[in-house]
Amino acid sequence: MKRIASIAVLLGLTFATGAALAHDDAYLDTQKAPNGGQLRMAGPYHYELVVVKGVNDVKENPVVVYVTDHAGQKVPTAGASGTATILAGKLKATATLQPDGDNRMKGVAKYVSSPDMKVVVSVTLAGKQTEQARFTPIVVAKDTHTDHKH
């Protein structure tokens, strides 16, 4: 009976630790993304979305997504496919994402970089299930360190 109780405690601690290590959007917005984009969780991965900022006219612009694991290690995108659906103002555009070396997916779409921009990224890595993440790439994350005094 003691052995079952010990196993139950260990399992409980394992799952509690996993939940504590999960990164929500608010936490990821406090992290500096390696490529200057916005980070989001997508299942067992982190996606970093990089869009062109400061674009006021609708024109074709690149859309780039970097894929890493939760430790920040590059996840190869060879054989992957994906899309980035962009909503900005009254416009909707979709970029087809293709592998573009290492852990990078790239496509193009016609968009403006308005503050209300929202992007839904779906990526299917080779042999894996599709993972999805939602971004607000133009919204500047609040610096949580400046709202208090030392």
Asked whether residue 109 carries a pLDDT value surpassing 70, the answer given is yes
Tokens 């994350």 belong to 141
Partners of residue 94 on adjacent β-strands: 85
pLDDT at position 1: 58
Express each pLDDT in 58-91 by its tens digit.
999 999 999 999 999 999 999 999 999 999 988 9
E-strand spans in 70-117?
81-88, 91-99, 104-111
How far lies 143's CA from each of 21, 28, 30, 121, 148, in Å? 21, 12, 7, 25, 11
Place 140 in a pLDDT band, splitting at 50, 70 and 90: low
| pTM metric for this prediction | 0.79
Going from N- to C-terminal start, the domains of the chain cover 23-135
pLDDT at position 139: 82
**Mean pLDDT score, 5-20:** 45
- Which fold, 23-135? Immunoglobulin-like (2.60.40)
Express each pLDDT in 117-134 by its tens digit.
999 999 999 999 999 999
Q: Kindly report the three-state secondary structure assignment for every residue of 30-61.
A: CCCCCCCCEEEEECCEEEEEEECCCCCCCEEE
